[in-house]
Amino acid sequence: MIESRFPTSWIFLTFFASGIITQKFVPVPAAYLFPIFAFSSVILLSLAVKIKKTSNWFAVIFIFIAGVFCAGKTGIGYEKQIPFSPEKVRAITGEIADVKEKGTLLILTIKDTTFSNGNRWVKSGLSVRTYLRRNEEVYESDWILIDRISSIKIEKNQISVHASNWKIIEPLSIYGRFRCKTQAFSENITRKWFRYHGQAAAIFQMIVLGNSRQSLEIKNIFIQTGTYHLLIVSGIHLGYLLFFLKILVFPIRRFEQTHYKIFNIFYLAAIVFYSAITGFNTPVVRAALMFGIYLFSEIIERPVSSLDSIGWAGSIILFSNPDNLFNMGFQLSFAATTGIVLAMKNLPAIKRLPTWLDSMIRANIGAQFFTVPVLVGNIGTFYPSGFVANLFLVPFGGIVVGLGFVFLIVVFLRQLVILPLIKFLELFWMGTKLFSMVSPAICWNPGILMVTVIYLLVFAVIFRNRWKLFVVSAVFFAIIWIGFNALNRPHAEKKPHYISGDQEDIIIFPCKKLLCLIEKENSAVVLLSMKENSSGIASVIKKIKSTGKDVVFIFVDYDHDIFEELSTILQEIKPVAIVDSPDIRKHPAFGYRKCFILGKKNIKQKFWDFLVPFEGIRVIYNRKNSVVLEYKNRGETTIISTYLNSRIFEVLPFSPEYHTVYATQIALSKKLAEYLQEYGTRRLVYQKLIYATEGNNADFEIIEMGKNSVSLH
């Protein structure tokens, strides 16, 4: 490859990932994938042989094309489709990949699915989501059969299935049967030894055994303290496993040093076995590959650096499943590990501190600074208390993992180990809850360019001898970011009457589905769902004129008329941008509107479901009878809905808290009240109550709006 001090594995990983990203956002038609790959491989190989001086660059181009090809072959960039029309599907079977608790329900993600129309079974490979009652006994790697299907919904490549009947069947794979037996074994042990300590048993299974069946309460608390990585079996767990094994062989350490190749094979087998027990999730696979590459390189006497092993581990994972690149868990796992390795190697040691404390502080700094950009880029929120919480909680987590290994492996010591294990689990949980109580949330949606700037500044601190290169690059990307913002928000003609205030208004107007105005400090954002008559839009335009602010129109649905609303709007007011549903791109007149209507008037065209929410607003649910918006502002999350009931609320994407819920129509049930309490809702504001069941036991404020348009502060 290219002659550089930059690790070869990271060159491969960078260009391979670039190909995957290209296929994600600019997909190559499926029919052209293989011809392009085959033709380019022949041409590039021939050029590399003939022009040896530039052969490295031809290899880089081939790696990029290979990334495009692998991503396309796994369906990235294409709309997922089931083998039959939804109304003809009679049954679905597959392996349970994930189990999450939400309210009174379990959310199951089923992978490697096979669909049946009653006459034949067709393997699809799609992932499907379904819902069961919370008290059902289902676990990861169980093989499930779903029949009596009442509905199948496909939205944003997510397939949701509602069915009245299901059962666990014998797993088809050898690994599936092995995982079921190990899970049954661990369940029996936990039930026996943690009989009167339910909370400690739940955390023990998550931290030591990789059980991902987590309650929302536990997940929120660990996210708020920045220690959620301790609940997911990853590199820290494998590190503790190797440390525990090293202690076991310490009495024969001379024999181990002499025959290190045999012991490396033993360590490799232990890593693979533990990874298999915990489910081969992405963080543990990444860590297992890293340790495996490092140990294997010692066996063949070809040592590699830690940074190189991270790069090769990432390349192998993306080659096997390119979709992992867009998984936040994968991004956090690699960012944290890379940050730890670079910080330990490049940050100076802190004098007058014990070596173990110095190493812990530097590792924590590296992990936190490298994961914060991923968090704000994906969810727009991070918790700064994680910098302090990790220093105290990670050692506790290490003790818990170590005692857990002793408890599981050394049978004759269980009677001695169980009491300290339970006490440390309880202390660990109490410490986590205490940190979560004083953990402020910082909300920020920087965008991909600003995330790049943040990483460049972090690199400038890490690589101090080349800080000028990274600072100059950061300034360059910051200028581009400022330029894009300036282009995307040209100054509109100001009206004479200007209103500004400390509070922001949310105004919901009478309409067919959703017509809402969010008045921010310097702009007004209008959201429309369907085709509205001129009188309905006129009231919105009148309100906008009274504010004198820049206005942005967001069409959240593709059902609106592509020209009529705009012609009405543009006669009265000029918006600075139009934000469309991505489905509008399929409209045959989209190109004409973009070039000859919006382009001529210098109105920018955007789409609302890109990498980060637009102005803190994103559409999280959009069906025939309801639209649900999520709005983040000043550390609070607000839900705005045209119609809301418990069935809609249970399928909303995860958010730590929904502080306020606005609904024009609401069906208030006991289950919905439980969900709202679970999400920490403080106020529920509605315009029309469809029905209300008894026994809601609401701990939040319930307010009735007026019958007409209402301003909510």
Which tokens in the block code for residue 450? Answer: 């600003």
Contact 631, 641 (CB under 8 A): no
Q: Three-state SS for 379?
A: coil
| Number of structural domains found in the chain | 4
Contact 4, 11 (CB under 8 A): yes
Gap between the Cα atoms of 115 and 284, Å rounded: 30
From residue 113, alpha-carbon distances to 141, 144, 160, 326, 330 in Å are 13, 10, 13, 21, 23
Are 595 and 536 in the same domain?
yes
Are 484 and 519 in the same domain?
no
Sheet holding 550-555, edge to edge: 604-607, 577-580, 550-555, 523-528, 515-519, 505-508, 710-712
530 located within any domain: yes
The residue from 115, 138, 172 where one domain ends is 172
334 located within any domain: no
696 located within any domain: yes
Buried b (16+ CB within 10 A) or exposed e, 98-116: bbbbbbbbbbbbbebbbbb
28 located within any domain: yes
Contact 517, 541 (CB under 8 A): no
Are 561 and 696 in the same domain?
yes
Are 451 and 484 in the same domain?
yes
pLDDT confidence of residue 710: 40
Domain extent for 64: 8-73
pLDDT confidence of residue 655: 65
The pair phi, psi for residue 618, each rounded to 5°, is -145, 150
Are 602 and 700 in the same domain?
yes
532 located within any domain: yes
DSSP for 640-689 reads: EEEEE-HHHHTTSPP-S---EEEEEEEEE-HHHHHHHHHTT--EEEEEEE
Gap between the Cα atoms of 102 and 651, Å rounded: 9
Which tokens in the block code for residue 361? Answer: 């502080």
Tell if the pTM clears 0.85, that is, is over it.
no
10 Å CB burial of residue 96 (0-12, 13-18, 19+) is buried
CATH of the domain at 619: 3.60.15
Are 39 and 130 in the same domain?
no
pLDDT confidence of residue 16: 92
The residue from 488, 515, 539 where one domain ends is 488
In 3D, which of 218, 686, 622, 159 has the Cα closest to residue 428? 218
Strand ranges for 293-444 from DSSP E: 381-382, 442-443
Are 547 and 691 in the same domain?
yes
Q: Three-state SS for 78?
A: coil
| Residues 310/313/314/315 CA torsion (nearest 10 deg) | 120
Gap between the Cα atoms of 291 and 267, Å rounded: 9
Strand ranges for 539-580 from DSSP E: 550-555, 577-580
Buried b (16+ CB within 10 A) or exposed e, 433-449: eebbeebebebebbbeb
The residue from 141, 157, 172 where one domain ends is 172
Q: Which residues pair with 143 in a beta bridge?
A: 95, 169
Are 583 and 618 in the same domain?
yes
98 located within any domain: yes
375 located within any domain: no
Pairing of strands 515-519, 523-528: antiparallel
Gap between the Cα atoms of 346 and 352, Å rounded: 18
From residue 101, alpha-carbon distances to 93, 153, 212, 213, 406 in Å are 21, 21, 9, 6, 29
* Spans of the chain below 50 pLDDT: 1-4, 490-503, 610-611, 707-713
pLDDT confidence of residue 501: 35
Q: Three-state SS for 439?
A: coil
Q: How many CB atoms lie within 10 A of CB 587?
A: 14
Are 533 and 594 in the same domain?
yes
Are 40 and 151 in the same domain?
no
Are 566 and 654 in the same domain?
yes
Gap between the Cα atoms of 115 and 123, Å rounded: 6
CATH of the domain at 107: 2.40.50.140
Contact 560, 529 (CB under 8 A): yes
Contact 321, 285 (CB under 8 A): no
229 located within any domain: no
Are 615 and 466 in the same domain?
no
Gap between the Cα atoms of 307 and 337, Å rounded: 9
